[in-house]
Amino acid sequence: MIDRTVLKEHFVKWVLVAFALSSLLFLFLIFAFILGEGLPLFLKVGAKKIIFGMKWAPTKGYFGIFPMIISSFLVTLGALTIGAPLGLSCAIYLSEYSGKRMKMLLKPAIELLAGIPSVVFGFLGVIYIVPLVRNYLGGSGFSLISTSLVLGVMILPTIISISFDALVSVPKTYREASAAMGATKWQTIYKVIIPSAKSGILASFILGMGRAIGETMAVIMIAGNALKIPTSLLDPLRTLTGNIALELAYATGDHRLALFSTGVVLMIIIMALNYIANFGIKRKIAK
């Protein structure tokens, strides 16, 4: 009898191990496929011509994605400019000021915001934000500023929840000590809590950046997808993810490989961002 129970325990454990490892396997497979498909073109054309090339016309032999790399970073910075102050303020309010009732209202609302599919954001962007920008600011409306606005809202849940966690994990004794020194609440937040939660807050910004740079559906709907590097906030632009999604359907041969190469560059950027974010958090824990 005991034997069977033990066996069952082992069985369950091994099943769970297998499933847990499968996510690693998937990650490995994704890496292997993207690199396997994307690297040949790097070898054939040369990394410099792809990464720093200014001209993208894959059916005519030009594979430069530099404008898209710049555009991806521009929308990400734009999104952060909008999302970071809003998100951090919300996190500070939630952790330091809000009562239980407000928290019970806000937290599920933020989770709901995170659950809204990106195509819905894109649709709302096209229907409301694009015409607003076109009518009041000029240009076609499909622009850097519209995309940044929508992405800024989309990264709010990431920024709020991670910086909230960082803020509440600041020990209560810090707050008490600060209050005992005669500091006001805002002084405590500004001088004590934010500095000690700094790495967590930065990590939230960087993970938000990762979300913004990886966003695709909403971006192709709003960004206008022009190949030129935008020279004003009202110019359209094409991101790395948008490039893959736009042209995937028709791509064959080197064109298809070029899209995988775009994927390689994107993967490296996102890996770097995640590494920075994790490094920030880990350093904080090690302290």
Partner 1 sequence: MHMLLRLFVLLAVIPGLCVACGNTGSNAGKQSITVAGSTSVMPFTEKLAEHFMIDSKDTAIDVQGGGSTAGVQATINRTVDIGMSSRELKDDEKVLNRIVICHDGIAVVVHRDNPVTALTLDEIRGVFSGKISNWRQLGWVNRKIDAVSREEGSGTRGAFEELVMKGREIDDATMVQDSNGSVKEVVATDPYAIGYISMGLVDSKVKPVSINGIRPSLATIRSGKYRIVRPFLYLTNGEPDKRARRFIDYVLSKDGQRILRNEGLVGVHD
Residue 263: CB minimum distance to partner 1, A: 16
Query: Which of these, 131, 155, 158, lies nearest to 143 by C-alpha position?
Result: 131
57: enclosing H helix or E strand: strand 56-57
> What whole-number distance in Å separates Cα of residue 62 and Cα of residue 103?
53
By CB under 8 A, name the binding residues for partner 1: 11, 14-15, 18, 55-59, 67, 126, 130-131, 134, 139-142, 220, 224-228, 235-236, 238, 245-247, 249-253, 255
Identity of residue 7? L
56: enclosing H helix or E strand: strand 56-57
Residue with Cβ nearer partner 1 (58 or 200): 58
Residue 69: CB minimum distance to partner 1, A: 15
250 burial class (0-12, 13-18, 19+ CB within 10 angstroms)?
A: exposed
Residue with Cβ nearer partner 1 (229 or 276): 229
> What whole-number distance in Å separates Cα of residue 214 and Cα of residue 266?
8
Residue 151: CB minimum distance to partner 1, A: 18
Identity of residue 149? L
Residue with Cβ nearer partner 1 (12 or 268): 12
Residue with Cβ nearer partner 1 (211 or 238): 238
Residue 224: CB minimum distance to partner 1, A: 4
Residue with Cβ nearer partner 1 (152 or 236): 236
Residue 245: CB minimum distance to partner 1, A: 8
Contacts 24+ apart (CB under 8 A), 24-30: none
